Amino acid sequence: MMKENVKKLSANLRQLAVAIVIMILGILQFPISVYATTYYVAKDGNNNWSGLHDSPQGNPQTDGPWLTIPKAAYNLRPGDTVYIRAGEYESDYIVPSTSGTSGQYIVYKNYPSEVVTIKNGINQINLDNRSYIIIDGLEFRDAGGNWITMNGTEHCIIKNCHFEGNSAWAGIKMNGADYNKILNNTLIAVCGGGNDGPDDVIWCGESSYNLFEGNDFRYGTHNCFDMQGRGPNTTSTGNIIKNNKFYNPWHTALSLFYGGERNLVEGNVILDAGEACGPNTCPGNACGSERDRTQFSRMNHGGLQFGNDLCIIRKNVFVNNGKQSLTPKNGSGSEENAANNRIYNNTYYKNYAGLYSNTTKPVYGNIIKNNIFYKNRNYEIYRFLTGSPNNNYYFNNSILGVSPPVNWNNTKKGISYFESNYPNEWKDNLTLNPKFVSEVPDPNSKNSDLHLRSTSPMIDAGAFLTQTSSSGSGITISVQDASYFMDGWGSIEGDLIQLEGQDQTARITNVDYDNNIIVVDKSLSWNNSIGISLAYNGSAPDIGAYEYDDGIGVGIFNYKGFNPKTQPIFTIYPNPSNGKCIIRMNSDSPSMSLNKLRVYSILGILVDELEISNGEFLWNNSTAPNGIYLMKLVGSPNYLGQKLILVR
């Protein structure tokens, strides 16, 4: 009997051992789950509490939120979120003790609908050598150093924040920082508030594949945005600067110099760079350097100063700036060109010079196509190049305004002269009034609407960007020049393209620049030498930054078979409105998936955005000034729009 019991016990032990081995193997094969934790920080918190509650608990209080942000930063682990309650956090700072991981970001966020302000201190956020961190919805003011340092930072997101005033050279300093996103923030330099500055609102050196989108840049004693490769054999590549607003009357809006290549500058509105400056000096830049105040004129403060290679500059609006410079940076050690860029579908209006090149260094292979140069003050295009090579190409632009419009190595002539004498470099340019929706005669023209009227000669007058290099079908297309396009570079969706004579659009998923091949997300058919461009309305692309859209709002309406003129997608009531109106979807509209309402000024600047659902919803805005606005519903199809008149 005892032997049988021992035998059974031995068998049971063997089964238990097998079960333990199986369990251990399972643990090794499948990673242990990490459970995300939500924490809270509040002004009435206590760093000895758990931080797991959004307000103090018990009477007497025995638990609740933490008191300081550094306490949270020390304790957060991948997947954790801390909500910070309302109030001013004097000299607090965010210095994460560890990084998040892919899919498990560490998140610092304002408590819903509450204003959180971090004031003073030195560097208010330090993300050096950290990754997968999100900073969302916080205010940062009066820093004694940088707002953010991002040295060696990767995969971090800064969004929906407000930054104002600091005493450092750079507001956000990025050095060797890759794959980060700076989204929908307001960034303001100050002068006369104690912590004067910054000089460069964002300084980005030797950093690649970052996305800067939807931000509002205001002022800067040097640049709103300065991107550099930093030195010999270094580069900043694959960066995207998209749909931002730049306003810097003190100095320059946007600079890309020193070894940058294959970057995208798209859809930005750039206003009034250097407006505070006089004809010869800039006394209005009171907090700038003595050199900036005394040696640079109004003309020298540009909307875009550019000396990169292989970049795309498209669909930007430049209004009332100094010169828009296509010129490498001068100075010892600045071994660079400005070469092989594609500059297309921009609008240059009432600047001191439209496009400006003046250097002994090589500037070559740049194609300037489908742009509007209109009523710029000194020259529409200025080119004084003594370096070699210096062949650049001006195709299918509309150039009208100052007379003569072009200064070409001190030859000051009209467009017909250059097309006759330099037919390889000048071709098919127009000299027509673009017929914008409205122009303000005052030189300070921020309130102009630079969209096209229905009678504009720019409509369908643009050239296709390139052509197919063979006939075929499928998703792989050989083209004559792939440099006009991008596949998202890992940050955004690739370009939406359209073939000549076809309604169908397709999304680019890969670009082989070396072999001029693009890959798209759906099968197409094409003949040899067929035009290919970004998606367009009508029979061909338009000239200028804004594609005419038959009065249905900014963007492209591409739901085939549905006429928005006779079957409105949605209605706005009342319209005109005092800032409060109801948006109601048409019950007969085709099936759609819509998730956002975006409201734009007539200059195309985003002024409001909210999450929506199909049906009926309310828009209520008490701050937007009187004027004409474009309301866009975003989802599938891409854009559905209507105009709203706001009268209070």
Domains of the chain plus CATH, in order, are: 466-534 (2.40.30), 570-646 (2.60.40.3080)
User: What's the alpha-carbon Rg for the chain, to the nearest Å?
Assistant: 28
- The answer to whether residue 587 scores a pLDDT higher than 70 is no
pLDDT by residue (tens digit) across 86-109? 999 998 999 999 999 999 999 999
Dihedral of CA 433/434/438/441: which sign? negative
pLDDT by residue (tens digit) across 298-340? 888 999 999 999 999 999 999 999 999 998 875 444 457 899 9
Number of helices followed by number of strands (H, E) in the chain: 4, 57
Helix (H, G, I), strand (E, B) or coil at 252: strand
Cα 197 → chain centroid = 22
Query: What count of other Cβ atoms lies within 10 Å of the Cβ of residue 280?
Result: 12
Q: How far is residue 74's CA from residue 558's CA, in Å, rounded to a whole number?
A: 49
What is the residue whose two structure tokens read 């949270």? 72
Q: How far is residue 149's CA from residue 620's CA, in Å, rounded to a whole number?
A: 37
Residue 172 pLDDT: 97
Residue 574 pLDDT: 82
Average pLDDT over residues 249-255: 94
Residue 619 pLDDT: 79
- The answer to whether residue 179 scores a pLDDT higher than 60 is yes
212 — pLDDT class (breaks 50, 70, 90): very high
- Closest-CA residue to 247 (of 207, 274, 208, 279): 274
Residue 572 pLDDT: 81
22 — pLDDT class (breaks 50, 70, 90): very low
Query: Would you state the structure tokens that stand for residue 197, as one six-digit string?
Result: 């500055």
558 — pLDDT class (breaks 50, 70, 90): very low
Residue 14 pLDDT: 55
pLDDT by residue (tens digit) across 592-629? 556 677 787 765 666 777 777 656 777 777 777 777 77
| AA letter at 365 | G
pLDDT by residue (tens digit) across 375-425? 999 999 999 998 889 999 999 999 999 999 999 999 999 999 999 999 999
Average pLDDT, the chain: 86
- The answer to whether residue 8 scores a pLDDT higher than 90 is no
What is the residue whose two structure tokens read 């550019």? 306
The DSSP bridge partners found for residue 16 are none
Residue 554 pLDDT: 37
Query: Would you state the structure tokens that stand for residue 587, as one six-digit string?
Result: 């019950």
Question: Quick check: bond before 389 cis, omega within 30?
Answer: yes
- Closest-CA residue to 536 (of 575, 479, 594, 496): 496
pTM: 0.82
HSE, CB side, 13 Å, CA atoms: give it for residue 420: 5
139 — pLDDT class (breaks 50, 70, 90): very high
Residue 568, exposed/middle/buried by CB under 10 A (0-12, 13-18, 19+)?
A: middle
48 — pLDDT class (breaks 50, 70, 90): very high
Residue 603 pLDDT: 58
542 — pLDDT class (breaks 50, 70, 90): very high
Contact 401, 380 (CB under 8 A): yes
